[in-house]
Amino acid sequence: MKRCAVFALLLSVTGLGAVEINPWEFASDNALIGAAVRIDSTRQISDDLVAGGAFVEVAAPVPGNATLGGAHVRLLSDVAGNLMAAGAAVEISGEIKGKADVIGASLQLDGTFTDSLEAVGAVIFLRGHVKGPVMLSGAEIFIEYGAIIEDTLRYSAGRLHIAEGAVLKSGAREFVPEPKEKPEVEKKLPRRTFGRWLIGTIIGFLFFAGAGLFISLVLPRHFKNVTGRLMVNPGLSALTGGIALLGLPLVLFIVILSFASIVGIGAGLFVSAFYLIGIIFSIVYAGTAMGRWLLSAARKGKEPHIIISMLLGTFIALVLFRIPYVGWVFRIAAFVFGFGALLVCLWLEIKPRTEKS
């Protein structure tokens, strides 16, 4: 990131080329920025060098590190330290004793690189002598006659051209970046705490209690008949509900087929809505029947109020449903008994009307 920031800063000064400016007015020690920066061989550089401009040419030896940037960058002298160069066109012909990092559209690397060389460009021409490792990335890479690479050449290129007179002592190897493996994040299940359990139970109770209040106020006679049927004949209710549960896959298949035609859409929606309502209210029916039975036993046979029975039974049912690992058994039982009692009552109500008609 630091390299990219420095390169971007240096390249941004290329816009100064449209203005006539004396470049040395911006000179501060060894930091030179201007439209055209030329450092001839007679100039002495005491330490590191930073130069940027539309045109940058350095012919004086650099005893430290060199950072160069511009539209056209030419380095004709030696650099005792590391080199960072960026530009549209970059030419390196001196000796770089430290690490060399070069970025540009067109790169001509004719110098001697003692440590290592890393270059990125659209077109790269390498004619120099590289004693350390080399990494080249570009669309076109030319290893020309006279080039000497003592270490392994690693490259990532659209096309690599190696001239007959080039010497690659350790060969060339294409660089393929390894895909970064995403660290596996262990999914931690939320901890089961009493607070979470209590909140879930209260929310469920409020929902089903609301459904029970609705049906007890809108259809009080139907509500008493279903819960009474479940108390009087729980076996028949369980048998009917069990058949409905086992036949659920077949019902779903028929519903899916019914949606294939316009005529069957209405029937499919009706059956789906009936099962959905039955699943919700079966819990209310089963809970209310349990509440009526408990309160009747406590009051020695006296019939309790239907709403009080519904609230008590629904709360007990929700507590049973929320028991870890075994709550699903009570949920299935509530559906089997409650939905079965609903189907039995509907059948007993429809059958006399059919016989009369």
What is the secondary structure of 107-128 as a DSSP string?
Answer: EEE-SEESSEEEEEEEEEEE-S
Do both 136 and 226 map to the same domain? no
pLDDT band at 92 (very low <50, low <70, confident <90, very high): very high
Instruction: Lowest mean pLDDT of 82-96, 121-135, 259-273, name the range.
Output: 259-273
Contact 321, 330 (CB under 8 A): yes
Output the pLDDT for position 9: 46
pLDDT band at 340 (very low <50, low <70, confident <90, very high): confident
Mean pLDDT of the region 291-304:
85
Burial class (CB in 10 A: 0-12, 13-18, 19+), 254: middle
Mean pLDDT of the region 198-213:
87
Do both 213 and 149 map to the same domain? no
In a domain, 63, yes or no: yes
Of 144, 174, 204, the residue that ends a domain is 174
User: Over the chain, what is the mean pLDDT?
Assistant: 80
Measured distance CA(75)–CA(112) in Å, rounded: 12
Mean pLDDT of the region 205-223:
87
The residues that bridge with 86 in the sheet, in sequence order, are: 69, 103
The span from the first CA to the last CA of the chain, in angstroms, equals: 87
Cα dihedral 214, 216, 218, 223 in deg (nearest 10): 120
Higher-scoring residue by pLDDT: 239, 185: 239
Of 140, 174, 208, the residue that ends a domain is 174
Do both 20 and 166 map to the same domain? yes
Output the pLDDT for position 262: 67
Output the pLDDT for position 355: 56
Do both 29 and 131 map to the same domain? yes
Give whole-number Cα distances, 171 to 20, 34, 149, 156, 330, in Å.
49, 42, 9, 14, 73
Distance of CA 226 to the CA centre of its chain: 50
In a domain, 170, yes or no: yes
In a domain, 259, yes or no: yes
Mean pLDDT of the region 295-315:
87
pLDDT band at 13 (very low <50, low <70, confident <90, very high): very low
Domains held by the chain: number: 2
Do both 88 and 163 map to the same domain? yes
pLDDT at 285 over 60: yes
Q: Closest by alpha carbon to 238, among 187, 273, 197, 289?
A: 289
Instruction: Lowest mean pLDDT of 2-6, 96-100, 257-261, 264-268, name the range.
Output: 2-6
Q: Closest by alpha carbon to 317, among 204, 158, 198, 192?
A: 204
Do both 200 and 293 map to the same domain? yes
In a domain, 179, yes or no: no
In a domain, 188, yes or no: no
Of 174, 208, 224, the residue that ends a domain is 174
Residue 215 belongs to what domain range? 194-356
Do both 281 and 159 map to the same domain? no
Measured distance CA(253)–CA(278) in Å, rounded: 18
Do both 207 and 109 map to the same domain? no
Do both 332 and 198 map to the same domain? yes
pLDDT at 208 over 70: yes
pLDDT at 128 over 80: yes
Mean pLDDT of the region 21-38:
61
Mean pLDDT of the region 160-179:
73
pLDDT band at 164 (very low <50, low <70, confident <90, very high): confident
Do both 142 and 237 map to the same domain? no
Do both 153 and 201 map to the same domain? no
pLDDT band at 102 (very low <50, low <70, confident <90, very high): very high
Output the pLDDT for position 283: 87
Backbone angles phi, psi at 95, to 5 degrees: -100, 125
Q: What percent of the chain has pLDDT over 70?
A: 82
In a domain, 189, yes or no: no
In a domain, 154, yes or no: yes
Mean pLDDT of the region 121-128:
89
Mean pLDDT of the region 141-150:
88
Do both 102 and 202 map to the same domain? no
Higher-scoring residue by pLDDT: 160, 257: 160
